[in-house]
Amino acid sequence: MSRVVAIVQARMGSTRLPGKVMADIAGKPMLQHVVERLARAARIDEVVVATSIDPQDEPILDAVGRLGFRGVAGSESDVLDRYYHAAQIAQADVIVRVTSDCPLVEPTIVDKTLDLFFAEQVDYAANCIQQTYPRGIETEVFSAASLTDAHRTATLPLEREHVTPHFYLNPDEYRLVFLAAQGELRRPDLRLCVDTEDDLALIRAIFERLGPDNRFPLIDVVRLVDSDAGLRAMNAHIQQKKLGE
């Protein structure tokens, strides 16, 4: 049986919203919402937070420890190296990659991505090779063997910083599969990640409407935002940063 570990990358530094990972949402830091939602995915055996050795990131390790999750500190700039060592420490066979600015990551979609990964017996499965889900629901799955290979061979700065581009930039070397959103969840126009104050304001408003326990499913979020033009407008003007920016 493969050991599946979700690794959440988190740091206090952010060019557009410093300290966002610890921003309060419904009485909890954003990072807590991320790890608690991930922990509800049926296929995940452990959730690990991978931060950096920068002293400003020590509050992340403290918070993670208080919540009962494992925290690992590694390279600040080489996030691929950080993932590689976190996966080794956690003895992962399969890794789920999620970023710490996604407080509405959907456990059922994490499980669907893992189901697809195992069913197709690929090296890398993701729901974000093409953007069909709302932003902030990105889930990537890859084997520890593929991570080891990427760690050894990836040389481009964006490959080291963003962990997974090495896989989809080399489709001849890795077996890839894509999970596309269906029905009401096929909403690439919606932005549910947190990069700016306006993003954070929208997420806080969603929690005020749907409840602080964060057990509501993604479909409830989509329907709520669709029902309220004011909510939709809160961060509609925000442009997503391109890879490598």
Q: In whole angstroms, how far apart are CA 238 and each of 36, 136, 154, 222?
A: 27, 13, 31, 18
Decide if domain 4-233 falls under CATH 3.50.50.60: no
The arithmetic mean of pLDDT across residues 142-171, rounded, is 96
Question: pTM (2 decimals)?
Answer: 0.95
- pLDDT exceeds 60 at position 245: no
What ranges do the domains of the chain cover? 4-233
Given this model, what pLDDT does residue 203 score? Answer: 98
Given this model, what pLDDT does residue 30 score? Answer: 97
The arithmetic mean of pLDDT across residues 12-39, rounded, is 94
Distance CA 243, CA 245 (A): 6
pLDDT tens figures, 59-80: 999 999 999 999 999 999 999 9
